[in-house]
Amino acid sequence: MNEELKKVMEVAEVWTKEPFDAETRAQVKAMMDAEDKTELLDAFYRTLEFGTGGLRGIMGPGTNRMNKYIVAMATQGYANYMLKVQREGGFDHVQDGRVAVVVGHDCRNNGRLFAETVANIFSANGIKVYLFESLRPTPEVSFAIRHLKCQGGVNVTASHNPKEYNGYKAYWEDGSQVLQPHDQGIIDEVNKVTLADVKWEANKDLIEIIGGEMDYDYMMAVKDVMIDQDSILRQKDLNIVYTPMHGAGRQIVPMCLRSWGFQNIHVVPEQMVIDGNFPTVVSPNPENAEAMTLGMKLGTKLGADLVIASDPDADRIAIVCRNDKGEWVIINGNQTNIMYHYYIINNMKRLGKMRDDMYIVKTIVTSELIRKIADAQGVTLTDEYTGFKWIANRIRMWEGKRKYIGGGEESFGFLPYDAVRDKCSPSAICLICEIAAYAKDNGMTLYDYLLKIYADYGFQRETTINVVRPGKTGAEEIQQMMKDYRANAPKEIAGEKVCLIKDYKTLKQCKLENGQWVESDIEMPLNATSNVLQYFTEGGLKVSVRPSGTEPKIKFYFEIPVKTELGKPFTGADYERCTAEAEARVPAIKESLGL
């Protein structure tokens, strides 16, 4: 027996005894007795790490799995940290001298079990808990934290990951996922906790069930996002197909759409069923075209104008509309964000709602076309790190000083208001339907509206390349790739000279000026760093390189511009030609990066 297996067997042996329940003990014993120890090694070779956003992992028994014991220890550590912050007077407000949290979950298997475990342990530590009665969208959990003036919260979800996964997102009092210094503070406390430290005995008097009344308040907050009600009223019969992908948007999204005035809403019946096994899709990720198949099939049958989906925890969206040939096309995350920002700015100006203190936000890997729009319209735009907690941080920094009107990221997330501090599919879905209604009111489809933006600001194609490197050796390989890019930055990419390099790990950038490289600082909120590299070429090409924080892969984001004549009508044929021209450059870009 090698040393690694010996250590794993010692750890697993503990899980075959009390206080672990009989089912867990039997499952671990079966793994230990199996001739093939692969499953045992994977389940126990490490402890599932509580990262800056919380936990995420495959469900099952073991230290490297999502189960009620790992969830319990994480919650005890989080509770310990919150009580510590309270003692030190670190919260903005605490009602009646008691820390309070909101706890929610989505449709995933074991979601209710884990959420009730979280609620019980918080209450056992003297913390007031508002527990949702059943599955709810991630953004509604964020809303409830703010609405109830709580100090934090937990949502049990693995977002759009495969069915084997579940997770645990930790939130702070502003309704956003935790940021420094609290993220590291919670991690430190969680790492101190053993199973013996967990307070299991719930104080039921401190657990309050919430549901319909919060749904109503949330729905009314979503309604405040509406910009142009007249267009909606004229196009109230816009033909909409929606699917919640078996998840948490199933009730609230249709409710919100109706509250905005849309009356012709259809749902995909097979995917309205709450089911953590996601039986109708390979993966419940609306970014994958396959996941939209049933929606498009129903859309074709009903002659729908657009098909929309939310992921299992209803924070991300996907949009499918008809092109000029009547065919279904999926609007990617960058295009979605481009349309949102273009519409918000232009229509708030048209209706006299725009103010000088208003601003928009994008992440550093999201389309630079949004910057072109903002600059041309004289609207402030900030760039933030990937992840909505950074957009939320910007809102917090400027709260009371400037007015946030929209922000998003390329991975199918958008937030058009500040009542929530995370991606919000109910509000984003309602707003994209408003955009479609406005377009139809002006003789256009949603697809035509996108082409109009390209006509006004030029065309570029955004493509993401994922290089997967699983396991320990894979993680080391990804680290080495980033080291190599830093040590030997490309001087040219696809034949274009690199003129700007940004390194968000060192917060330094080098710009080519008059043939000389000039170094300067990059200013980011909290002076926070991120392991991201960006290269910009003289021809307008942008390449971002970022290891994933939750999956064993390194991501390459390409933004490839194609020259067009601005102001000239941009047709579907132009779109296809420019898309093909951009994609034809991808192999040369990959070759320049050694991929």
Least Cα distance to 76 among 180, 168, 194 occurs for: 194
User: What is the C-alpha separation between 533 and 547, in angstroms, rounded?
Assistant: 10
Contact 531, 558 (CB under 8 A): no
Token output for 368: 């630079």
Q: Which whole-number Å values give the CA distances from 176 to 52, 109, 474, 537, 595, in the listed order?
A: 12, 25, 31, 35, 36
Dist. CA 383–CA 524, nearest whole Å: 9
Q: Single out the residue of 436, 426, 155, 169 nearest to residue 310, CA to CA.
A: 426
Contacts of 137 (CB under 8 A, 6+ apart): 106, 248, 249, 252, 310, 313, 314, 315, 424, 425, 426
Closest Cα partner for 438 from 351, 496, 360, 511? Answer: 351
Cβ atoms within 10 Å of 587's Cβ, excluding its own? 11
Token pair recorded at residue 395: 């809102």
Give the position of tokens 């928009």.
360
Which of 526, 475, 487, 528 lies closest to 505, judged by CA? 528
* Helical H segments across 224-368, by residue range: 229-234, 252-260, 293-302, 333-350
Per annotation, catalytic residue among 123, 134, 142, 159 = 159
Q: How far apart are the first and last CA of the chain?
A: 39
DSSP 177: B
Q: What six digits make up the tokens of 459?
A: 């065309």
SS3 203: coil
Helices (H), 442-570: 446-457, 471-487
Q: Return the ∠ at Cα 94 (arms to 526 and 137), rounded to 5°.
A: 70
Would you call 231 a catalytic residue per the annotation?
no
Distance CA 595, CA 580 (A): 21
Interior/surface letters 274-300, b for 16+ CB within 10 angstroms, e for the rest = ebbebebbebbbbbeeebbebbbebbe
Interior/surface letters 444-459, b for 16+ CB within 10 angstroms, e for the rest: ebbbbbbbbbbbebbb
Give the separation between CA 130 and CA 172, rounded to whole angstroms.
14
Cis peptide before 19 (omega within 30 of 0): yes
**Which are the catalytic amino acids?**
159
